[in-house]
Amino acid sequence: MRQTLLPDLVLDAHGARSGLGITIEDGRIVEISPATDGERLPGRALAPGFVNDHSHAFQRGLRGTVERISPSSPEDDFWTWRERMYELACELTPESTREVSRRCYEEMLCAGYTGVTEFHYVHHCPDGIPYEDPSALAKAAALAAEDAGIRLLLLPVAYARGGVPRFRDASVEAFLRRVDTLREWSEGHPLVEVGLAAHSVRAVPRGWLEEIGGYARRDDLPVHIHADEQPREIEECLAEHGVRPVELLAQTGFLGPRTTIIHATHADAGELDLLSEHGASVCACPTTEGNLGDGFLPAGGILDRGIRLSVGSDSHVRIDPFEELREIETNARRLSGRRNVLVNEGETSPTPWLLRAGWDRGGLETGDTADLIEIDLSHPALVDVEAGDLPSALVFGAGSEVVVGAWVSGRRVYARGGKDG
């Protein structure tokens, strides 16, 4: 079906243009040009949907429950939080996984995310024995995304040691066989793509990293891993391997253009150089990193080296892409004592770089998937904002409440007050 949307403004990272229609066919944008016939969206701007590049959907169940000190652990930190997370993970069933994931994904659509990368590491029964269908829990998350209507990159995650039994596979070969079957299954699910991940250098030994990296390269798949989130993780990696986490990933062939490092909070200059040399990217999760006391993203080093950046809401303490982007620049300001810190060469504002990180593109172009969000220009946060100032007003002065609609593959899947079919 061919349709044309007629918003008041079409937004990109540098500003907004009026008088344009966006024509969609077979789930893709086929034309952006002056138009008068189509579905009018008065008082709306159309923008690319945000991509939530790191999600643990089940952790949304922790929201509000972990914001107090436990009598047994008066000094709360990432590691004590992790024990609470393990308890929640041990309660999951395929049915509850689908339900909590659906709620999480629906909240993402309301907030302006039209795509999500699910870093899925709860695989087996609580005692570690695989379900009759070894991918039952991963499929539950994928079906939840279909229920909500959001685009999903599903990453089954390798876990060899640590954690709880239901995270772990007996061998890397068993893990990769499960990835194979999930990829075959996903062929009948157009909104679902399957890649793979290793949990961390703590949870996956050197040999597994080599096998997983090789599998991803062979089939040109996205591959993600947590790295450099906590100082203790770096200390343990140095003790075991004699190198820092990103150095180990480079040695094992895990790094490449389709590799994403989650957090990189404590990556040093040498590690950032390695990411740049290998064309790897970084996913920052500022609301979660702040909530867990992880530290600050080395955003200036990432920008200076041209490392691609994305954002995620991770543990979902908050689901708001505008807040994730704002925190990146705000933290850089706090650390430097300056304003407008993360400005790319040839630009005058951090806004374009931040929005490109959030959207995974700079604006809307023909050939793109028709994954769009509607911005309410009459919202009190945006009233009287000039078109040229709209991108910065969104990043620095607004939040997810200005999103009133979301389209995925050319279908409106969220509208404030209801959901279209």
Q: What is the mean pLDDT of residues 290-297?
A: 96
Q: For the chain, what percent of residues have pLDDT higher than 70?
A: 99
Examine the pLDDT at 203 and tell me if it is beyond 60. Answer: yes
Tell me: the pLDDT tens digits for 132-148?
A: 999 999 999 999 999 99
Average pLDDT, the chain: 96
Q: Is residue 314 flagged as an active site residue?
A: yes
Nearest to 183 by CA among 127, 130, 222: 222
Tell me: the pLDDT tens digits for 52-91?
A: 999 999 999 999 998 998 777 778 899 999 999 999 999 9
Q: What is the mean pLDDT of residues 170-198?
A: 98
- DSSP for 238-270? HHHHSS-HHHHHHHTT--STTEEEEE-TT--HH
> CATH topology of 2-48+363-415 equal to that of 50-319?
no
- Give me the amino acid identity at 146: E
Examine the pLDDT at 282 and tell me if it is beyond 70. Answer: yes
pLDDT at 421: 42
* C-alpha distance from residue 164 to each of 232, 262, 342 (Å): 19, 21, 40
Q: What is the mean pLDDT of residues 211-231?
A: 98
pLDDT at 74: 76
Q: What is the mean pLDDT of residues 248-253?
A: 98
Residue pair 26/3 in contact by the 8 Å Cβ criterion: no
pLDDT at 1: 85
Examine the pLDDT at 118 and tell me if it is beyond 60. Answer: yes
Examine the pLDDT at 197 and tell me if it is beyond 70. Answer: yes
Reported for 280-283, long-range contacts at CB under 8 A and 24+ positions apart, including other chains, are: 280/255, 280/256, 280/307, 281/307, 281/308, 281/309, 281/310, 282/307, 282/308, 282/309, 282/310, 283/53, 283/54, 283/117, 283/224, 283/309, 283/310, 283/311, 283/312
Q: What is the mean pLDDT of residues 229-247?
A: 97
pLDDT at 75: 84
pLDDT at 418: 62
For the domain 50-319, what is the CATH code?
A: 3.20.20.140
- Annotated catalytic residue: which of 263, 266, 278, 316? 263
Q: Is residue 241 flagged as an active site residue?
A: no
Nearest to 208 by CA among 174, 238, 183: 174
pTM, whole model, 2 decimals?
0.97
Tell me: the pLDDT tens digits for 385-421?
A: 999 999 999 999 999 999 999 999 999 999 997 645 4
Examine the pLDDT at 210 and tell me if it is beyond 70. Answer: yes
CATH architecture of 2-48+363-415: Roll (2.30)
pLDDT at 162: 95
- Annotated catalytic residue: which of 314, 320, 360, 371? 314
pLDDT at 63: 94
pLDDT at 70: 77
pLDDT at 192: 98
Ranges of each domain in the chain:
2-48+363-415, 50-319
